[in-house]
Amino acid sequence: EAQSDTSTYLQLTSICRNNQRIGLGQKVLRELCRNTSLPFEFDSLSFEAQKFLFSELQLVSPTERLPTTTLTEPSVCYTVLKHLWLSEFHNDALLGIQSFIQKLSQIKEINQENSSNTGEPNQTQILLSKAHIKYGHWLIQQNQMTISTVEKSLKSFDLATKLNPRSYKTWRAWANLNFEVVAKADQVVNMKKTKQTSTFSSIPLINKIYPSSPSSKSFIHKTLKSSSSNTSSPSPSVTSSPLSSANNLISHSDEDGFENLKIKSYLESAVKGYIRSISLSGENSIQDILRLLTLWFTYGANNEIESALKEGFGSISIDTWLQVIPQLIARIETPTAIRFGVRELLCDIAQEHPQAL
């Protein structure tokens, strides 16, 4: 039975979702949920959402709920919520994941009281961390990118990094959103400056982690293009993030908030987040490296950012920088303090891999 091999079935549903085989994933999930009922924390779902789950996943009605048949496996509950979101029940998925986080937080506290602290995150903490990340992503996709939404999502991501500090995905999500706040603030300021002399359509837009339109220009690509234009080596391409499935997420009514935002703390958080993500992810870090270079080349003259970068570079393997040597070489003659850091980094690379330069 599926219930006797839950982890394998959940991995299969994940593969189906990642390959856009939603129907097949639903069939697999149905085997895990058949003839069980939703736990009490799912009672906040709308009638339509519950009806959908009863019919598609063959869950039984709450009126027939019995302790022995209640769906209690947290990882399965979490997968049901993700399926609910993919099925366009966004408000219900948001409400459900909030209840799920509250319930799982209580379980985590009980587990901590009954076990010794080894420093390693347990399965409950790992799952809770994933739920916080998912909640933050859904919140922005559902409610647009306003100051209020950003702060709630950043708080959720920050909790995720504390629950599972050894996961590069949590640090990446936290860094990405801080990076996006900085990019949005810059965009709003530039729009205000050029409003008198150009139309909105002529202003270069940033191809965001949560893009506002398919035609938006890539902020990262624009920053790095000049770096790679003087070299014959192909530079890594910048692809969209998994978060880029939603459109029109920039709230124009909140532009004044972004214009007056103090971005220094967001800059430092983005730099530190990317450094942690790169050091933990190994080879799976090209997008993070490109974004980190963007921040370095754009804001590296700032003393606090320069200090954060120098402190963090020591935790990143020299081999990691081999992927972006063309971009680094193109910045050797940058007429700012950035060039000294670039030269120092290239010297470190040359000591380990002289043939690469």
Share of the chain above pLDDT 70, in %: 72
350 contacts: CB under 8 Å, gap ≥ 6: 356, 357
What b/e readout covers 250-282, taking b as 16+ CB neighbours within 10 angstroms?
bbeebbebbeebebeebbbbbbbbbbbbbbbbe
At 4 the three-state DSSP class reads helix
CA distance 161 to 275: 13
Alpha carbons within 13 angstroms on the beta-carbon side of residue 111 total 14
Determine contact, residues 57/26, Cβ cutoff 8 Å.
yes
CA count, 13 A, side-chain hemisphere, 246: 19
Distances (CA, A) of 205 to 17, 137, 216, 225: 31, 22, 5, 16
Q: What are the DSSP calls for 42-55, one per residue? A: GTTS-HHHHHHHHH
State the virtual CA torsion across 268, 272, 274, 277 in degrees, nearest 10: -160
Highest mean pLDDT among 38-47, 61-70, 204-213: 38-47
Averaged pLDDT, 137-151 = 88
Return the higher-pLDDT residue of 58 and 158.
158
How far apart are alpha carbons 238 and 225 in whole angstroms? 11
Q: Are 347 and 313 contacting, i.e. CB atoms less than 8 angstroms apart?
A: no
**What pLDDT digit, counting tens, does each position of 69-99 carry?**
556 678 888 988 998 898 889 999 999 899 8
For 156-190, write each residue's pLDDT tens digit: 999 999 999 999 999 999 999 999 999 888 888 77
52, 55, 60: which is closest to 86 by C-alpha? Answer: 52
pLDDT for position 240: 38
What is the distance between the alpha carbons of residues 127 and 222, in angstroms, rounded to a whole number?
37
The single residue listed with the structure tokens 């979490």 is 78
Q: Which of 68-77, 108-117, 118-127, 158-167 has the highest mean pLDDT?
A: 158-167
pLDDT at 174: 94
Q: Which of 297, 322, 327, 295 is nearest to 230 (CA)?
A: 327
Axis crossing angle, helix 338-352 with helix 303-313, rounded to the nearest 10: 10
206 forms beta bridges with 217
Residue among 70, 80, 2 at smallest CA distance from 36? 70
Does 155 score more than 90 pLDDT?
Answer: yes
Which letter does DSSP use for residue 3 in this model? Answer: G
Higher pLDDT, 249 or 34: 34
What is the mean predicted confidence (pLDDT) over 216-245? 38
User: Per-residue pLDDT tens for 330-355?
Assistant: 888 877 778 888 899 999 999 988 88
Average pLDDT, the chain: 77
pLDDT band at 273 (very low <50, low <70, confident <90, very high): very high
Give the bridge partners for 310, in sequence order: none
Percent with pLDDT over 90 in the chain: 28
Q: Quick one: pLDDT at residue 256?
A: 54
pLDDT band at 227 (very low <50, low <70, confident <90, very high): very low
